[in-house]
Structure 1
Amino acid sequence: MAKFELKLPKMGESVAEATLTAWLKEVGDTIEADEPVLEIATDKVDSEVPSEVDGVLVEKLFEVDDVIQVGQTIAIIEVDGDEAPASTPEPAAATVEAPAEVAAVAETVATAQASVAPAQISNSEDRFYSPLVKNIAKAEGISQSELDAIPGSGLEGRVTKNDIMGYLKSRGNSATATPAQTVTAVASPASETKKPAAQAAPVSVNGEDEVIEMTRMGKLIAHHMRASVETSAHVQSFVEVDVTNIWNWRNKVKKSFEAREGEKITFTPIFMEAVAKALRDFPMMNIQVDGDRIIKKKNINLGMAAALPDGNLIVPVIKNADQLNLVGMTKAVNDLAGRARNNALKPDEIQGGTYTVTNVGTFGSVMGTPIINQPQVGILALGAIRKVPAVIETAEGDFIGIRHKMFLSHSYDHRVVNGALGGMFVKRVAEYLEAWDTNREI
């Protein structure tokens, strides 16, 4: 009998880890190829991890609620034959389980350090350690206090494999130093620059109050929103748009469009088309920030915030949106929105966005100040369409008429987008909408 390592597959360009939410199989269960073995969750979507082979589950390496890195072995499956199929190669950026590397680093650690039996590593209220980090700490004789002092570069300051391996190399280069001395040398820069975290005001609860636990997605969204505000210098620009021509045109074509395409045409794909055109006109809005570098994205991938039944939002992405005609955009919008409501999106369908659009008008809001979806630099909120009295200019003079109008609210990152660019971009979106051809064929 041979053994196959089931690894966490790659789930998108920016997804490095996932949380194990449920085991669907138990040790001893027979598994068929493509049969789901466990459920995982990233920051936005739940998914299943299927087996790549037929066999029997003989070992589970993680428990529910553990955080697993992409490429890390999750379970061992015993298969028939002397040689197991090759496991999916681990991505270079997320390589884990490297005994040779760990052994090589261990050789540089002082003999006295290596011989010290470390105490059990445990999580605290402020820090969570993945099983991989705990295993490395145990193998290398790292104490709880040493591990707690290592600066973490992961989510919420979590210590990653790269953090602990980097620490080991620094520790190994000072073989004569004691563990306490080494930790001080590594941790001191962080301690000098790290600001104390703001403490939330205490909340009093009496017997009549209802205490509701936040959902896993709710906690993740809260973290990402707070992190975005702390990262980006948010500035807003607002433009009022006359969309009377679009309103009338849609009323004229919606029945024939649905009869021909089998799809309802809403205002959303029309707005998304205008945003895609404006991003093509202003490519420096289609950028991302990576430290001190600006990454100018080649593709225009529009994120589209969609409401879920539980009240949370998810942001599926329309890839290469500027290459779609209005029919294609309509089909993409309807498909992603429908599958978002049914929790049927794939992990890669919420990754890779370069700019986001959110429709606050769906809930009756006239305008909004949305928070930027990191690492993007802009997000556009679509306000409710209202019938309002407005001044209409004609060759014969001005007069008051009833028009359909809405507000576009543009939030952008003032670190890299100045007011002129942020304002010109949203104004260009408005110009495309106001110039709508009422005789347009579709």
Structure 2
Amino acid sequence: MGESISEATIIAWLKKVGDFVEAEETIVEVATDKVDSDVPSPVSGTITEIRFHKDAVVGVGEVLALIDCDDKVAGKKITIGKTETKSMPAETKKAEVTRAEANWQSNPDAFLSPLIISIAQKENLSIEELQSIPGSGTDGRVQKSDVFHYLKNRKYPVQSKPVAQQPASTYPKPKINFTEGKDHIVEMDRMRKMIADHMVYSKQTSPHVTSYIEVDVTNLVNWRNENKDKFQTKYNEKLTFTPVFVQAVAKAIQDFPMINVSVDEKNIIVHKDINVGMATALPSGNLIVPVVKNANEKDLLALAKDVNHLADASRNNKLKPEEIQGSTFTISNVGTFGSLMGTPIINQPEVAILALGIIKKRPEVITTSKGDEIAIRSMMFLSLSFDHRVVDGFLGGSFLRKVGDYLEQFDTNTTL
């Protein structure tokens, strides 16, 4: 499921006990933070046992089901994650296959999934207390069962420092008017709930500040119009503005590496890799962020191929878990929806996110060799939301201006 994933939720079983399955046939669907994945059967055989059912949260490496292959090999284990598939002799076919011995060493640096963070927030667990819980998952990662076990036996909550109690609001919850027969209720799906939790967590964690600039991208627009058909013919790839945006961001990050960081308590983690996430709308209306890895090391053609592949995989729900992990900076093209500009919410644990508005033609005053003139130019707004804990106005503004400079000064002699 990916290096940072410690658990997944079972969405649906496509087979039941007693069914025969072919090797590589999809048998169960599972989900992590934002991506759904099909789990194929490692062998051909008959399902003899299913251990976890729909909506169960299962740790990476757990056994999901047993398959009777033949007289020689029985009890093939279907697991979540990268755990190797092992076989058992026929004589142990009926024996219980237990999970690997739990690793009960506390690991303060272990990855905490959004589910674990959500439980901690609801139970008022401090980060120090959460990190002190021994994890039984892979590499000592804390799982849902570990947290509930800890809460059940907790006597003295651990806090590194006194927490000021916020007075309960006396403002009454606004009444929602519901007209029977006219209005109807739509329950949030799993992904929408996760997005909602992630957005609230981000706003509570990072003090957001948003800066804006306007850029003249006339030369870029003209270059793209002149080359998009040639590009399609030569490489069988669409030439959109997105790879150019990704390239400009990657260059600007190299100029201002402290924008490519994460915050860990009192430490700042500076990332060497420049992995640019692209906020992408799914057909369902939900949002997902596929990632262009090592964007600074790729030319425009390679970026275009990555962007087109990720966009197509998003639309068809074919993104792999590793394709939505590891972003260090995110862009959101709000201009796609006709928005002039936006105030994006930071994609945690990053510290900044860039919104790109719609490109519009309008008359502008420009300076030429003949003096000031009015000309039709292609203009767009850029807005950068950043975490004011570690990004001050100078860094945020300088980075944003540098992105704008790279777009305005795009080399129209770029050969494809």
Q: TM-score range by the shorter chain?
A: 0.7 to 0.9
Q: Equivalent pairs: percent with the same residue?
A: 50
Question: Please, what is the CA RMSD of the aligned residues?
Answer: 3.2
TM-score (norm 2): 0.80
In the alignment, is the contact (CA less than 8 A) between 2:60 and 2:79 conserved in 1?
A: no
Structure 1 residues 45 and 200: alpha-carbon distance in aligned structure 2, compared to 1, 3 A threshold: farther
Residues 150 and 164, structure 1, Cα contact 8 Å, conserved in 2: no
Query: 1:314: which partner in 2?
Result: 288
Q: Superposed, which structure 2 residues align to 1:20-419 within 5 Å?
A: 20-80=10-70, 81=72, 97=99, 153=130, 160-163=144-147, 167=150, 183-186=154-157, 201-207=174-180, 208-419=182-393
Given that 2:10 and 2:57 are in contact with CA atoms closer than 8 Å, whether structure 1 keeps it comes out as: yes
Q: Distance in 2 between matches of 1:312 and 1:354?
A: 21
TM-score normalised by L of structure 1: 0.76
1:22 is paired with a residue whose SS is strand
- Partner of residue 115, structure 2: none
Structure 2: any 5+ residue segments left out of the alignment? 84-97, 105-117, 132-141
2:5 aligned to 15, 21, 24, which one? 15
Instruction: Go from structure 1 to structure 2 and tell me whether the alpha carbon gap of 1:86 and 1:45 turns closer, same or farther (over 3 Å shift).
Output: closer
Deviation at 1:76, TM superposition (A): 2.5
Deviation at 1:197, TM superposition (A): 8.3
Please give the alpha-carbon distance, in whole angstroms, between the structure 2 residues aligned to 1:230 and 1:74.
Answer: 36
For residues 101-146 of structure 1, the C-alpha deviation after alignment (integer angstroms, 9 at most, x for no partner) is 79xxxxxxxxxxxxxxxxxxxxxxxx989xxxxxxxxxxxxxxxxx
**Which amino acid in structure 1 is aligned with residue 156 of structure 2?**
A
- In the aligned structure 2, how far is the partner of 1:321 from the partner of 1:68? 34
Which residue number corresponds to residue 113 of structure 2?
Answer: none
Aligned equivalent of 2:90: none
2:10 and 2:58 in contact (8 A); partners too:
yes
CA spacing shift, 1:193–1:61, aligned 2, 3 Å: farther
Q: Quick one: distance in 2 between partners of 1:19 and 1:354?
A: 26
The AA in structure 2 aligned to 1:257 is: F
User: What is the one-letter code of the residue matched to 2:155?
Assistant: T
Unaligned runs of 5+ in 1: 1-10, 103-126, 130-147, 169-178
Larger radius of gyration: 1
Amino acid in the other structure paired with 1:184: K
1:58 and 1:197, CA in 2 relative to 1: closer, same or farther beyond 3 A?
farther
Shift of 1:190: 11
User: Does the CA-based 8 Å contact 2:66-2:78 persist in structure 1?
Assistant: no
C-alpha separation in 1, matches of 2:239 and 2:196: 33
> Amino acid of the residue matched to residue 194 of structure 2?
L
Cα distance between partner residues in 2 of 1:344 and 1:100: 33
Aligned residue pairs, count: 372
Taking the aligned partners of 2:124 and 2:223, their CA distance within structure 1 comes to 63
| Alpha carbons 1:19, 1:40 under 8 Å: kept | yes
1:117 maps to: none
- SS of 1:184's equivalent in the other structure is coil
User: Alignment partner of 1:185: what SS?
Assistant: coil
Is this contact kept in 2: 1:150–1:159, CA < 8 A?
no
Letter of the 1:16 partner, please give it: S
Letter of the structure 2 residue corresponding to residue 18 of structure 1: A
- Are the structure 2 counterparts of residues 243 and 387 from structure 1 closer, same or farther at C-alpha, using a change threshold of 3 Å? same
Q: Which amino acid aligns with 1:247?
A: V
Residues of 1 paired with 2:288 and 2:79: CA distance? 29
